[in-house]
Structure 1
Amino acid sequence: MNLSIFFEPLPEEQFGQADTPKTVGGYVAPFLHSFPDWRSSEVVLLGLPEYRGTTGATDVTYQGPNRIRQELYRLMKGTGSWLVMDLGNLLPGIQLEDTYLRLKEVVEILVDAGKFPILLGGSHDLTYGQFLGYEHLSKTVNLTVIDSQLDMAEIEDTSPDQHHLHRILLHDPNYLFGFSHIAHQAYLTDSSTLAAFEKLHFELFRVGQVRQQMQEIEPILRQADLISFDVSAIRHQDAPGQQHANPFGLTGEEACQLCWYAGQSDQLSSLGFYGYRPELDHRSLTATTLATMVWYSIEGFYQRQGTLDFNSNQFLKFSVGFHDNPNKMLFYKNRHTEKWWMQIDDLSGSRPPLIVPCSYQDYLTAADGEVPNRWVLMQARM
């Protein structure tokens, strides 16, 4: 399919020439006059100037992706080959649902081709279109959302960006295997919603837990197939350009750390940034924060290890036994990155074992004779 029919070019006066050859703008091939040959890229940027899923949007809002680009293109290029192309902005559909379907097609094509799309939104409900891009795969997927609250409001009388998780969880066919929510704030989240997610064996981490146990969050991001990052998860001081800004949340540095982890994940195949409102972003502070997050995502991408072979010399294998159980729990540690994986055996024997990301603390818990909570949750989903 010709992807160019879905996109509009970027303004040449803004993106036609890089500030200096060593900046990101000097290494990114943008859509200006002719559509770039995205098949020769590794990382693909695309803007989503679609805000009909939220409230109070203005004409200025639709320049959100371009404002982020302006700050990103000024940053200095990192290490690696940086084969990055910018496809421009996705043309919104006649109806909001049409935009979801356009985004689905684009994500599906890019993921199938082995590219890593980074989406610059746009309201948070566009996560639904990103998720639809995985419907064609013959496997289940893991979704991780980073947001200050769970967007599970009642569908009636609320905007789509407040209830899009409803649509994802109830989507038919159901191909969602795991769901994780990071950095929610308890005083913004209904306790009954949290209880419902816990019954479904989903993983939830409050912003305080993220701050205190950043190393425990890394395996969650390493297991995700797609990640949706709402800028409302970041505190107002570092990202004022958002509709629901408040003084509490992740710092800009913590947000970049999460993006660094995400980019390094060999399993992650798409990453979306949503909720940016440029009309509220004085001095482009939020655009700068988001641009830096994108930079860390790309830099992390070029630190990926490639195909994992747990039987190779690259990994150390650890076997942990339990006093009252003849079965053993297997762990794997990468010699170079020191990251850990855990083998989950299906107790029913109906499916092959899974090897999932875990933390060093999970291994220590098992070595102390206790079953790690991550093992329990995975076993419940199998």
Structure 2
Amino acid sequence: MNLSIFFEPLRDFIDNYSHDVKSVGSSLSIFTQKFPEWRSADIALIGMNEYRGANQNTPTLHPANEVRKKLYRLKKGTGTYKVVDLGNLLPGITLEDTYLRLKEIVENLVSSNTLPIIIGGSHDLDYGQFLGYENLEKVINLVTVDSSIDMTEGADTPQHKKHLHRILMHEPNYLFSLSQLGHQSYLVEPEVTATLEKLHFETIRVGEIHKNVQLAEPVIRQADMLSFDVKAINGQAAPNITESNPFGLTGEEACQLCWYAGLNDHLTSFGIYEYNPEQDLHGTTAMTISVMIWYFLEGFSNRKNEIDFTGKKFVKYAIAFHDNPNKMAFYKSKVSDKWWMEVEGLGKEKLRKIVPCSYDDYIQASNGEVPNRWILTQGRMA
């Protein structure tokens, strides 16, 4: 498929930002005149300038271009990967057209094992990102990072405040799990978190991440798709004039989450949304996003291909409970020291699923307690 018809090239932009041979920009294949060979690439950058879902005017400064100005000047890390920059996706005539256009792009890239990184636009664009998995014949795990949980209902509610509700209600249903990270309780209605709890979805508040950012690692490790709202980051690292957030994630925590995401062998798409350069007077938010992407790329280059649990890379631990003859199985990687656990469904077919977990989950099971992550997974398998 000729994807180039959907994109605006970077002819007038790129010359000033890719001349340093040791920079990230010099290592990319960029759409200036000839469209990059995306099928052989590991990662593809996609710029978005679509804000109708937030009832906002289109920014005069393109958000992805402002991020590129910072990202391309960063020094290339030690990792090995092939990245192409496809330019900026042209919005559709309607917002729904943009969703469908993004769906087609994501579907083609993921089908070719090229991971798209979507930069810019309002958070509802992750609905188009999600639609890209509809024809891939697999259930997926979605992780979203946000200071709120965008499940508000109502005809007058902007799309960027209710996109998660739309994802949950989408038919056909191919969503296995939705995990929410970094939300702040005073920005979320209790009924919303109660709904996620009833659906056996995992949530981790920003305060818990402040105490121990590693709590988020097993959650991100099971994601097929990651959606990151920059408003989850505090105002020091991501200043925003209209919605300053003094209590969000630190810049370091945001980069750590992106490092985890890059390492995840199963992750196949990544979106960073809600960046408006007109509210970023000194380019601080653009710099934060560029470093987040840098850490994601470095994480990607360090993937361990830990997906086959029958091989010699893993040690299997079986735990039996005194009041239950069934054993709970755990797997530890000899390479990365990460943990997974095997969960058996409650149905007649007794389906089994191996999901990421932490060492603490293993210790809890060793002490005769069923880990909450095991309970949540089994509940979704019922």
Contact 2:343/2:374 (8 A) holds in 1: yes
CA distance in 1, matches of 2:48, 2:151: 22
* 2:177 paired residue number: 178
Contact 1:16/1:32 (8 A) holds in 2: no
* 1:48 paired residue number: 48
Contact 2:50/2:122 (8 A) holds in 1: yes
Change (3 A) 1:200 1:17: closer
CA distance in 1, matches of 2:118, 2:350: 35
Contact 1:243/1:277 (8 A) holds in 2: no
Change (3 A) 1:105 1:13: closer
CA distance in 2, matches of 1:289, 1:195: 32
Per-residue deviation, 1:34: 1.1
* 1:160 paired residue number: 159
Amino acid in the other structure paired with 1:196: T
CA distance in 2, matches of 1:258, 1:196: 25
Per-residue deviation, 1:80: 2.3
* Residues 344-353 or 119-128, more deviating: 344-353
Please give the secondary structure, in 1, of the residue aligned with 2:180: strand
CA distance in 1, matches of 2:13, 2:308: 48
Contact 1:27/1:82 (8 A) holds in 2: no
* 1:127 paired residue number: 126
* 1:254 paired residue number: 253
Amino acid in the other structure paired with 2:204: F
- Within the alignment, does 1:338 sit opposite 2:343 as a pair? no
> Over residues 326-353 of structure 1, what are the superposed CA-to-partner deviations in whole Å (9 max), with x where a residue is unaligned?
1111000001100000001123341531
> Over residues 189-238 of structure 1, what are the superposed CA-to-partner deviations in whole Å (9 max), with x where a residue is unaligned?
00111111111111111100112232221011010110100000000111
Amino acid in the other structure paired with 1:37: E
Please give the secondary structure, in 1, of the residue aligned with 2:52: coil
* Residues 106-115 or 5-14, more deviating: 5-14
Please give the secondary structure, in 1, of the residue aligned with 2:282: helix
- Superposition CA RMSD, Å: 1.3
* 1:76 paired residue number: 75
**Normalised by the size of structure 2, how large is the TM-score?**
0.97
Per-residue deviation, 1:312: 1.9
* 2:8 paired residue number: 8
Change (3 A) 1:209 1:201: same
Please give the secondary structure, in 2, of the residue aligned with 1:178: strand
Per-residue deviation, 1:243: 4.5
Per-residue deviation, 1:17: 5.3
Per-residue deviation, 1:82: 2.5
- Identity of paired residues, percent? 54
* 1:93 paired residue number: 92
* 2:219 paired residue number: 220
Please give the secondary structure, in 2, of the residue aligned with 1:59: coil
- Within the alignment, does 1:195 sit opposite 2:229 as a pair? no
CA distance in 1, matches of 2:45, 2:324: 50
**Normalised by the size of structure 1, how large is the TM-score?**
0.97
Change (3 A) 1:242 1:376: farther
Change (3 A) 1:245 1:57: farther
Please give the secondary structure, in 1, of the residue aligned with 2:363: helix
Per-residue deviation, 1:41: 1.0
Per-residue deviation, 1:308: 2.3
- Within the alignment, does 1:26 sit opposite 2:29 as a pair? no
CA distance in 2, matches of 1:253, 1:310: 32
Per-residue deviation, 1:13: 4.1
Please give the secondary structure, in 2, of the residue aligned with 1:282: coil
CA distance in 1, matches of 2:180, 2:164: 11
Please give the secondary structure, in 1, of the residue aligned with 2:283: helix
CA distance in 1, matches of 2:17, 2:276: 26
CA distance in 2, matches of 1:56, 1:103: 19
Please give the secondary structure, in 1, of the residue aligned with 2:231: helix
CA distance in 2, matches of 1:321, 1:224: 29
* Residues 241-250 or 122-131, more deviating: 241-250
- Within the alignment, does 1:299 sit opposite 2:318 as a pair? no
Amino acid in the other structure paired with 2:33: H
Per-residue deviation, 1:165: 1.0
CA distance in 1, matches of 2:185, 2:83: 38
Please give the secondary structure, in 1, of the residue aligned with 2:69: helix
Per-residue deviation, 1:244: 2.4
Amino acid in the other structure paired with 1:222: R
CA distance in 2, matches of 1:346, 1:15: 55
> Over residues 261-299 of structure 1, what are the superposed CA-to-partner deviations in whole Å (9 max), with x where a residue is unaligned?
001000100000000010010110000000000111111
CA distance in 2, matches of 1:88, 1:369: 53
1:317-332 aligned at under 5 Å gives the runs 317-332=316-331
Please give the secondary structure, in 2, of the residue aligned with 1:236: coil
> Over residues 75-100 of structure 1, what are the superposed CA-to-partner deviations in whole Å (9 max), with x where a residue is unaligned?
01112223100000000000000000
